[in-house]
A = this chain, B = another copy of it.
């Protein structure tokens, strides 16, 4: 404890104030393996939060790939190297045929920053539509998509926000088609507004799983009418797959495949290199060539042989350990466990998600669906005290965010569920 106080003081001195830290009692981690993390006192935590170590913390095959390539060659892409070609070939093979080329970056933020410019290059326009509770990254341009804090100098005026879809409180009523039509109408309004502006309409950017918005269980083909509206207006659909990608939802490799839509541009980040800084943009070759013609873009570290080796190892492990199937199986089991807890704890208003991205929305009142945001904070802190790490998110910040490394097992789910039962019981 004294050690942690000293660490926090050093942190504020060296990294500044207001640098975010999880939990009332922050965790001082020293070791990770699979779905487990250890703190400096040797206490073990079940990691139900981190999607970055996608195939498990410190997976030996990813570590081995990094070490092997880092000790052989690490350089930029202005020389020829097979690493990036082998990786992009493997990666694009997991997409529809139309998504056949890629640009590699170092972060998902950089990927979205490029994706927005791809849409500009294709359309000659700069207006963008995003949801009002989304997050696509931290660059100056990408931050303009967020509504959380107006930037110095103000917003650029080229972004229109549509309401984040909330299947628990659906726009347009309960019917799937009415909800989808109501949301598509919001997108159409935003398109019209941009078309009347000096910016014009270039793209709709969404996480097709709406992870930050609270991962709503949307009706089948919910996005289809909105995507059709975008296409009619000559805009591009950018799918940010930083969260649902790489098989996390269990049913599909990519969130947009699950949603039944075919985007023009797909962006990748966090889980791609199991923690090694790598991101990317996948598009059809015409879109990518239009970008490369309209903008000069070179990324020194992007696509370096070590990053590609790490990313390729992630694909290998995903396949060999059948982790997408595991996500489907364990995710369904864990959601059923949450449903069972809902019978006991009235606080659980809605259980939802897919594969290994799921959780419960906590409400004060099931009829009114009043968000229990403060209680959600107490719950995740209580879980942390009992050795289970998870987060919260969503429009009302009242949904537990359970998004563990992909080798998460039914035993792990049982531990998480029994701990949650304890914490909810002790509130």
Contacts and interface: CB of A to CB of B under 8 A. Distances in A.
Interface string A142-170: 01001011011100001000000000000
A103 B15 contact: yes
Interface string A305-320: 0110000000000000
A67 B109 CA distance: 26
Contacts of A274: 74
A149 B120 CA distance: 14
Contact of A141 (B70, B139, B148): B139
Which of A80, A103, A113 has its CB near the most chain B CB atoms (within 10 A)? A80
A414 to B, nearest CB: 24
29 contacts: A4-B80, A10-B85, A14-B85, A14-B88, A15-B303, A16-B103, A18-B293, A22-B79, A30-B81, A52-B76, A53-B75, A57-B75, A63-B71, A66-B70, A74-B275, A74-B276, A106-B301, A107-B110, A107-B301, A109-B299, A110-B139, A117-B140, A117-B151, A126-B153, A139-B140, A153-B158, A275-B304, A275-B306, A277-B301
A101 B11 CA distance: 10
Interface string A94-124: 0000001111001111100100110011001
Interface of A: 4, 7-8, 10-11, 13-22, 26-32, 37, 50, 52-53, 57-58, 60, 62-63, 66-67, 70-82, 84-85, 88-89, 92, 100-103, 106-110, 113, 116-117, 120-121, 124-126, 138-141, 143, 146, 148-149, 151-153, 158, 199, 269-270, 274-278, 285, 288-289, 291-301, 303-304, 306-307
Given A28-B81, A275-B301, 14 more contacts: A7-B82, A15-B85, A16-B101, A29-B75, A29-B79, A52-B75, A52-B76, A53-B75, A58-B74, A106-B106, A107-B299, A117-B151, A148-B296, A152-B294
Query: Copy number in this complex?
Result: 2
Which of A16, A27, A292, A303 has its CB near the most chain B CB atoms (within 10 A)? A16
A60 B70 CA distance: 9
A126 B152 CA distance: 8
